[in-house]
Structure 1
Amino acid sequence: MAGGSRMSRAVMLADYSHGPAIESLDLGPVLPGGALVRIDAATVCGTDVHISDGVFGNLARLPLVMGHEGTGTVVELGPGLERDALGQPIRIGDRVVWAHNWCGRCYFCAVAKQPTLCENTMGYGWGPYEEGVVNGTFSEHLHVSPDSRVLWVPESVSSPLASAATCALRTVMHALDRMPRIRFSDTVVVLGAGPVGVLAAAAAVRSGADQVVLIGAPGSRLAATESWELTARINIDDTEPDERIDAVRNMTEGRGADIVLECAGPPDAFTEGMEMVRAGGTLMVIGQAHGETVPVPTTAMKVRQLTVRTSLSADISHFHDALRFLDRHGGELGLESVVCSRVYSLDQVTDALVAMRSGAEMKPVIIP
């Protein structure tokens, strides 16, 4: 874009009462180690809906450019950015994804080696907007920060699907990294049929588990996975919790699942997962984003020797894992048609948020 227009249309959220609006923003210079990308596709996350609705309060700093999931083509490279996180050369015209920033200097980055807990992290789409720096994906262009890690996108992975990998699938990969490896004899239950749950089920299927059960709603999302090698799909709209718990136990000779991946969010999902996991099994909490308190039966956890683990976000290694998974399995599983739904323009972003809020679509796609 050198010498050309230095403006970009973007979806700004300046105050909650007026909601998102399109603005033309100045594109400032690219910093050393950073990049400017043209957004090829952005996908809508439930977090975007929560930010728009003001659910996160001061965690979202207004005004902000909305959107944190995206794939883009490099149009400018700052001095010093020559290779991606894998050491591959990065050039103008390459299609890339980028991770949010970790400082690399705080205790959690440098000592604990847990960058997802970084004390100074900067996430795209969380604000605040600074003049000349477009740092949200619901836009025509985005400034990739010098502190971000960049990854080249495989040719076999579409831009909408790669965009979904930058949140939902990398979250799944981090969760799987924080728990025992799935064994060939394992029964894995996935609670929740949103993007995270559906992608977790896909990962469990390709991890070689003996049985994979997907529990959630609506029925259309379960039906979309019909070609997958799932043992069962259970619609929560048609069943009661006791029925679902009994169904899992009946599949496992009365023991319960070896692994339960809670990807749903509501407090009841945690309670249900505790009843579904076998003694000595693992409950991985990926959902539970509603900020509500859940009673924890500590005595039962101890007596049954349960392992309860949690996982938040991901680091660059999990972005890489997500892209590799899509490169190898995305086509055979038909993930783009399952996960990525209707395409919207920037001017239709309010409609895309409504579709995500209502659950009518799994991952609305925004093409600027």
Structure 2
Amino acid sequence: MRAAVLHTLNADLSVESLEPLPPGPHDVVVAVGASGICHTDLSVRNGLFPAMLTGPMIGGHEGAGTVVEVGSQVSRVAVGDRVVASFRPACGACPYCVEQRSHLCNALGQFLQTPRGVRGDGTRANAMSGIGTFSDVMTCDEASVVRVESELPDAHLALLGCGMTTGVGAALFTAGVQPGDSVAVIGCGGVGQSVIQGAAVAGAARIVAVDPVASKREVALRLGATDALDPTSGAAAEQVRELLRGRGVDYAFDVVGAPETVTSAYRMIDKGGMLVLVGYGPMDSELRLPAFDLQSQEKTVKGCVAGSAQIRRDFQKFIDLIEAGRLVTTDMVSQEVALDDINVAMKAMLSGEVVRSVITSF
């Protein structure tokens, strides 16, 4: 198999040939049709989560494809099924899955350390999030894939594996946005654009997109934002409150993860409002928020993992919404690239040129 492998933090990925290891009894082998390139891939490469890299690692955690082989005890999918791979598994047996909180599934840790390919020098490579979608062939536990029924191209289905599900779910499930609510979204990459779409589906009356890149603000307005602000042209929180005639928003979603953007997002919420932390910050970063204001104005700060979505239930629901025209993927895919262009695509994401690049040629 051909895969993009990360060997060293703060270095480019290496596209190379590996010998896939045989699937275990609960494993499935998927011919990958497409893999999204997410900002988290860049964060892992840049050392934001150093503990993830314990050796060579096949990159990628957002993909879709077709099952070509199954282990002896696989029961959820069969050869020929179209599947979406999820960066968060749903084992179905741990306490969190049983409690309908599969986005917190306990199985992830064990999958991270499972070797999936042998490099030319004999070293073994693990797979990011237990899946490793930057590869033409992916082997993973069946808990990490969901069978779907759709005629949508893999390039669009792949977005459900992380970005779209995280963003739409953040609005619908983590926050529980209601009709008539007001929303601000800080950071309008793939996940942020999906938060905007989720808020629109929920019926939010005002959706304010906040991003320094003009092209991303334009996409946000097409995808459901009612307003778009440039945070470099003045304090973002003050701009939001000016739009809302002095009040804050009911929900502010920080999709960046930097302490300064989180603080700005907190200042945007009204009394009784909620700040939702969607973007990942460095593992050692800390936040300083005004405790008296938080308590006396009954505000809420809430973390968000995978949009609090239940992948077995929600992947197909989101597909149905896409096919009904309620969610849009066409504006999300900025470009389709080849696996060999992975590092160029990473740089395009870092510069803010794209919402989402998707690998479709392996």
TM interval, shorter chain, is 0.7 to 0.9
Mapped partners of 2:10, 2:265: distance in 1: 38
Structure 1 residue identity aligned to 2:170: A
Mapped partners of 2:327, 2:59: distance in 1: 28
1:91 matched residue in structure 2: 78
Mapped partners of 1:13, 1:127: distance in 2: 15
Structure 2 residue 249 is matched with structure 1 residue 257 = yes
Mapped partners of 1:179, 1:150: distance in 2: 22
Match of 1:23 among 16, 21, 39: 16
Match of 1:170 among 165, 172, 189: 165
Match of 1:60 among 49, 53, 57: 53
SS in 2 for 1:337: coil
Mapped partners of 2:30, 2:211: distance in 1: 37
Structure 2 residue 136 is matched with structure 1 residue 140 = yes
Mapped partners of 2:198, 2:226: distance in 1: 14
Match of 1:286 among 264, 278, 283: 278
Unaligned runs of 5+ in 1: 1-7, 84-89
1:3 matched residue in structure 2: none
RMSD of aligned C-alpha atoms?
Answer: 2.8
Unaligned runs of 5+ in 2: 119-125
Residues 64 and 129 (structure 1 numbering): CA distance in 2 closer, same or farther, change over 3 Å? farther
Structure 2 residue 6 is matched with structure 1 residue 10 = no
% identical equivalent positions:
26
Mapped partners of 1:316, 1:259: distance in 2: 18
2:189 matched residue in structure 1: 194
SS in 1 for 2:320: helix
Superposition pairs of residues 119-134 of structure 1, within 5 angstroms = 120-122=107-109, 129-131=115-117
Mapped partners of 2:52, 2:72: distance in 1: 32
Structure 1 residue identity aligned to 2:85: W
Residues 91 and 242 (structure 1 numbering): CA distance in 2 closer, same or farther, change over 3 Å? closer
- Using structure 1 for the length normalisation, give the TM-score: 0.84
Mapped partners of 2:93, 2:325: distance in 1: 41
SS in 2 for 1:202: helix
Match of 2:339 among 341, 346, 363: 346
Residues 115 and 320 (structure 1 numbering): CA distance in 2 closer, same or farther, change over 3 Å? closer
Structure 2 residue 49 is matched with structure 1 residue 48 = no
1:214 matched residue in structure 2: 209
1:86 matched residue in structure 2: none
8 Å CA contact 1:160, 1:336 repeated in 2: no
Q: How far apart are 1:332 and its partner, in Å?
A: 3.1
Structure 2 residue identity aligned to 1:197: G
Match of 2:267 among 260, 272, 275: 275
Mapped partners of 1:93, 1:285: distance in 2: 38
- Using structure 2 for the length normalisation, give the TM-score: 0.85
